[in-house]
Chains A and B, each alone.
Chain A
Amino acid sequence: MRLGLLLFRGLIRRHLLRAVLIGLCAMFCFTGALGVSWAGESLVSTRQDLEDSWGEADLVVYTQHQTPGDLEEAFLGIEGVDAVSEGMLAEPIRCRFQDGQVRSVRLFALLDHQLIRPVVQGDGELALSYGYKVDAGVDGSLVLALPQGETVSVRATAAMPMYTGVYVDRAIVSTDGDMVDIYAPVERVTEIVGECYVNYALVRLDGSVPVEQVRDRIAGSEDVFVSYVAEREPAYEASLALEDVICRICALFPWIMLGVGLLFVSIFLAGAAGQCRGSIGVLRTDGAPLGAIYLGICLFALVSTLAGACLAVPAAWALAKTILEISLENMGLPGGTLVLSWPWLIRCLGGCLGACVVATGVGMLTVSGGRVARIRRRRGGRVRGRCAAVVATAVSTGAAVCMSLMSMMFMDSLDAVRQEQFSDRYGFHVQVVYEDLVPLSRLQELREGDMVQRCEPMLFGTMSLSAGDREWEVSCVALSDDPLLILRDEAGQPLPVVEDGICLSADTAARLGVGTGDLIRARIRYGSTQIRVMCSVTGVSAQSTAFLEAVSLETVEAYLDSSGVMNSVAVTVRPGCLEDFRAYVQTLPGVLAVQTGEAGQRRFDCGFSGTRVLVTTVILASIALGTSVCLMMCYAQWKRELRRDTVEHLLGRSAWWLAFRSALWRLPGVALGLAAGSFAALELMPGMLRYLSTDTIAYPRVADPGTLLTGGGLCLLAEGLCFGMYLLADLRQWRRPRG
């Protein structure tokens, strides 16, 4: 025991640098593992807390304007309904904001907070939608001028499940960023809009009757005109889709960090134990028990690793807090505090213990190799060492290439979704959204001033699609023959929009179990207008953001009471006219929103910035980790080669030749690692994308040769720099004057 402690003290003194490196590695890996998993746990907990604090409903029902109390009275009588909360979603009003832009403001209020209680932070009666605050980057209070001239200041934010936001947005696609939701007490909303009514209700079910039956009964209610009934789950899941992605990354990343960290710790420890092989040999020669030597080495490993793990706790706290804040901002969710859950603590302790066990095991293995060092002569060390260096280089290069390529391919996939949203699909600059259905003749006023190159009418709405016993709620758009909004098939070809035909997204087609040529029933709603049509599926789009179906405008017009209407226009403007056109359109009556591509793109980028930060971090970390591992794994072999090469240099061999030979030996490992890493990344990527995909975003697989070359090239460059350092050290050593 005392001998073990003596050895431990000696090791700490002589190998302090290695102990520090082991501690740093442990700190690094635990910081990553603990921090990310802590953030993940806290995200889940925050979500649960929000559910608990703001409550939840099972159905959301939109109706025509009713007298307060009517909806409650009508729906509570339906079997299966447990509770009803009425709400007021005022017609959008056009307000001028402090930045000079005119935007639509949608005021909403809840008559009671029986089911839902928005989480309000800040002062004042009016509270800005938290999601808008984040997306639009609103900092501080918002000052806006109401149509009647009153100027109001919005200093608070309100967050709640996006029942209204999701469904209204889906009905008028792409008004994101140009439509501001403001929550206020019902008295204040009444004061601003001049009347008091209710037009939506949140419904909680008691579970005694299947939800579909309750939906049908509510939709068919005789006392009120119900325009739309939706279940909570799709809306709720859609709003938290990004959180799911981040949670999945948070669940996976710690294991990678732990593995890499353990590898690092093992390498440094093996190096330390390898360096004191001579000492171990002396002790064994004197008859020292192996247990005492193990104790010394294990204490060295344990203390170094534990010290790193302890230092990792504050670092993990900082990392977790940062991730949590970024993620919640991206998700448009407020608050969020780090929580300590028992499962997480147990996992942490388990991981820490596992790391210590592995570190100790590596130390013991090295000692086991060292204890007979004096007794058995070492043979074949040069060839074996070089082979080990090649394998080590291949493994570390492969890991670095694989991780960085996967991250870069995911980034490409994100970019593809972004491009599809804003370039491939939308071949227009501006989308003008009207408050209600307007005649096609209003296209003419848009063409005034010669700022417009082309404008095409669109009719956005929601629809229920059914095939057999399957039914699915989606957003849809009615398009002209040659639309500016284009859905594409897997080959990237535009899908035809023909009369009595419908283009389905791949997700919807899969849910309904239909394909091209099949007949489906569609119930399409535009505001208070509703039509029922039978359509044949003319194509399945391979869109990644799979919640938009397209029908022909002719199909819809044939069923509408008054044909020749639209509620949206896609516009391409002449170069340099965008801002003028936008300002002009804002003055037109009945315009709900003027959405530019840039604004939508900015909102999209903002929403995904946290994911991008995470992915970029993974790319950089994987390159740094891989090259560092490679560097360390080759270190021992380099030291051995250096001694031999130095002798060769003294005997007259050129330093440059020796340096070249030193690099040449590592090339097979680098090539092998590059090939294996690329292959692994390509094979693993589809599974990874499936894992990360959600109901609303199906990440496409993008294998861009440029990415492959860039990823591999970056890793090679990093490793080349590392090896360059070795070679420089070689040259300096060999060229040192000797006297």
Chain B
Amino acid sequence: MEGLNRLLELRGVCRSFAGKDVLRELDLSLEEGQCVAIMGRSGCGKTTLLDLMGGLDRPDRGEIFFRGSLLRPGQLRRYRRDHVGFLFQDSGLIPEFTALQNVAAGVRICKSGADPMEHLALVGLADRAGAYPSQLSGGQGHRVALARALAKKPTLLLLDEPTEGLDRQTGQEILDLTLKICRERGITAVVVTHRVEHALQMDRQLLLQDGALTEGAVL
């Protein structure tokens, strides 16, 4: 019964770059609907861990299970398309598309059937649907990126320092909005952050240090 609630499980995952071990025999399991914060010094491997969880990278050793099934290299694109939403620190919008098109692109990719305009309204940017990323402020860009990620109706939302570059108030608003929607929809959220107050809003806090995770610790 416990296994049914387990969304993602990393077993003995190792990843190294240029001979340097970034992640060492790392184990992690995420429950459905859980909000998790990952903290750690810069360069400790937080983004690498997020890439592995999101199917953007493959571990050198170890296995990753999604809902009890092993994620194989050939399944990663479908896994990302159907289950994972991303929100990066640089918002990750497509400059060629308008705000609405950015959200619609996500919908079209995963064929979720969501209404892009409704999601833009959800983040309070319905009136900026026709604006291009270059015409949006940093906070607005993050909101559009959030709308795009949510429009995919993901089961796992990965946020890589989503408030980075934003003022305290805007950052807090975006995080609050994100957590509210995730909790309403039962989405598992993994947030990489340097801010302790943000981490404390999560259900679970993890510290990444020397390639290993420590439960409940904060910097």
Q: Residues of A at under 8 Å CB distance from B?
A: 2-3, 6-7, 10-11, 13-15, 276, 278-279, 282-289, 374-375, 377
Provide the residues of chain B in CB contact with A374, threshold 8 Å: 56
A287 touches which of B51, B57, B78, B92 (Cβ 8 Å):
B78
Are the CB atoms of A282 and B92 closer together than 8 Å? yes
Question: Which residues in B have their C-beta under 8 angstroms from that of A2?
Answer: 108
Give the CA-CA distance A276 to B57 in the complex, in Å.
21
Q: Is the CB of B96 within 8 A of A286?
A: no
A10-B94 contact in complex given A287-B80, A287-B82, C-beta closer than 8 Å: yes
Q: Quick one: closest B residue to A13, CB to CB? A: B96
Interface residues in B40-58 (C-beta closer than 8 Å to A): 51, 54, 56-57
A377–B17 CB distance below 8 A = yes
Residue of B nearest to A296 (CB): B96
Asked if B96 contacts A11 (CB within 8 A), the reply is yes
Partner-binding segment picked from B1-9, B99-107, B188-196: B99-107
Complex Cα–Cα for A181 and B79 (A): 87
B80 touches A285 (CB 8 A): yes
Q: How far apart are the CA atoms of A361 and B109 in the complex, in Å?
A: 24
| B62-102 to A contact mask, C-beta < 8 Å, 1/0 | 00000000000000011111101010000011111100010
Let me know if B110 is at the binding interface, CB within 8 A. yes
CB–CB B57/A3 < 8 A: no
A282 to chain B, nearest CB (A): 5
Chain A residues with CB under 8 A of B143: none
Given A285-B56, A286-B81, is A3 in contact with B109 using a C-beta cutoff of 8 Å?
yes
Extra pairs beyond A2-B108, A10-B101, A283-B105 (18, CB < 8 Å): A3-B108, A6-B97, A6-B101, A7-B96, A10-B94, A10-B96, A276-B95, A278-B95, A279-B95, A285-B80, A285-B86, A286-B110, A287-B79, A287-B109, A287-B110, A288-B81, A288-B105, A375-B56
**How near does chain A come to B88, taking the closest CB pair, in angstroms?**
9
Q: Which residues of A contact B15 (CB under 8 A)?
A: none
Separation in Å of the B92 CB from the closest CB of chain A?
A: 5
Nearest CB in chain B to that of A11: its residue: B96
Residues 10-52 of chain B, each 1 if its beta carbon lies under 8 Å from chain A, else 0: 0000000100000000000000000000000000000000010
Contacts of A3 in B (CB 8 A): 105, 108-109
Pair A286/B105 contact, Cβ less than 8 Å: yes
Task: Report, nearest first, the 4 A-B pairs whose CB atoms are least far apart.
Answer: A287-B81, A10-B96, A287-B80, A279-B94
CA distance A279 to B81 in the complex (A): 16
List the interface of chain B (C-beta within 8 A of A): 17, 51, 54, 56-57, 77-82, 84, 86, 92-97, 101, 104-106, 108-110, 148, 152
Q: How many whole Å from A389's CB to the nearest CB in chain B?
A: 25
| Contact flag A6-B108 (CB < 8 Å), given A285-B80, A285-B86, A286-B152 | yes
CB-CB under 8 A from A285, the residues of chain B are 54, 56, 80, 86, 92
Name which residue of chain A comes closest to B76, CB basis: A287
Asked if B96 contacts A287 (CB within 8 A), the reply is no
Query: Which of A276, A285, A374: most chain B Cβ within 10 A?
Result: A285
> Is the CB–CB distance between B96 and A276 below 8 Å?
yes
A373 to chain B, nearest CB (A): 11
Residues of B within 8 Å of A377, CB to CB, are: 17
Of the candidates A3, A10, A289, the one having the most CB atoms from chain B within 10 angstroms of its own CB is A10
Pair A286/B86 contact, Cβ less than 8 Å:
yes
Q: List 13 A-B contacts (CB under 8 A).
A: A3-B108, A3-B109, A6-B105, A276-B96, A279-B94, A279-B95, A285-B56, A286-B148, A287-B79, A287-B81, A287-B84, A288-B81, A375-B51
CB <8 Å contact, B96 and A279: yes
- Within the complex, the shortest CB–CB distance from B95 to chain A, in Å, comes to 6
Assuming A3-B105, A287-B81, A288-B109, is B56 touching A282 (CB within 8 A)? Answer: no
Please report the C-alpha to C-alpha distance between residue A3 and residue B111 in the assembled complex, in whole angstroms.
11
Cα A279 to Cα B80 with chains together (Å):
16
| A34 vs chain B, min Cβ distance (A) | 33
Contact between B109 and A283 (Cβ–Cβ < 8 Å)?
yes
Chain A residues lying within 8 Å of B77, measured Cβ to Cβ, are 284, 287, 289
Chain B, residue nearest A379 (CB): B18
Shortest Cβ gap from B201 to chain A (Å): 25
Q: How far is the CB of A377 from chain B (nearest CB, A)?
A: 7
**Across the interface, do B94 and A283 meet the contact criterion of CB distance under 8 Å?**
yes
Q: A6 to B152, Cβ gap below 8 A?
A: no
A377 to B20, CA, bound (A): 14
Q: Which of B82, B84, B95, B104 has the most A CB atoms < 10 Å from its CB? A: B95
Determine if A375 and B105 form an interchain contact, defined as CB atoms under 8 angstroms apart.
no
Q: Which residues of B contact A14 (CB under 8 A)?
A: 95-96
Among B51, B93, B96, B101, find the residue whose CB has the most chain A CB atoms closer than 10 A: B96
A residues less than 8 Å from B80 (CB atoms): 285-287
Compute how far the CA of A283 lies from the CA of B108 in the bound complex, rounded to whole angstroms.
Answer: 11
Residues of A within 8 A of B97 (CB): 6, 10
For residue B51, give the distance in angstroms from its CB to the closest CB of chain A. Answer: 7
| Residues on B with beta carbons closer than 8 Å to the beta carbon of A7 | 96
Shortest Cβ distance from residue A374 to the other chain B in the assembled complex, whole angstroms? 7
Minimum Cβ distance to chain B for residue A420 (Å):
63
A282, B81: Cβ atoms closer than 8 Å: no
Chain A residues whose C-beta falls within 8 Å of the C-beta of B92 in the assembled complex: 282, 285
Contacts of B94 in A (CB 8 A): 10, 279, 282-283
Q: Establish whether residues B95 and A286, one from each chain, have CB atoms under 8 Å apart when the complex forms.
A: no
Report the minimal beta-carbon distance from A349 to chain B, rounded to whole angstroms.
Answer: 31
- Closest Cβ neighbor of B145 among chain A residues: A282
* A14 CA / B132 CA spacing, docked (Å): 10
Q: Which residues of A lie under 8 Å from residue B78 when comparing CB positions?
A: 287
Task: Specify the chain A residue showing the minimal Cβ separation from B106.
Answer: A286
Q: Which A residues are CB-close (under 8 A) to B110?
A: 286-287
- Point out the residues of chain A lying under 8 angstroms from B79, CB to CB: 287
Residues in B whose Cβ lies below 8 Å from that of A279: 94-96
Residues of B within 8 A of A10 (CB): 94, 96-97, 101
**Complex alpha-carbon distance, A422 and B148, angstroms:** 80
Q: How far is the CA of A287 from the CA of B86 in the complex (A)?
A: 11
Residues of B within 8 A of A286 (CB): 80-81, 86, 105-106, 109-110, 148, 152
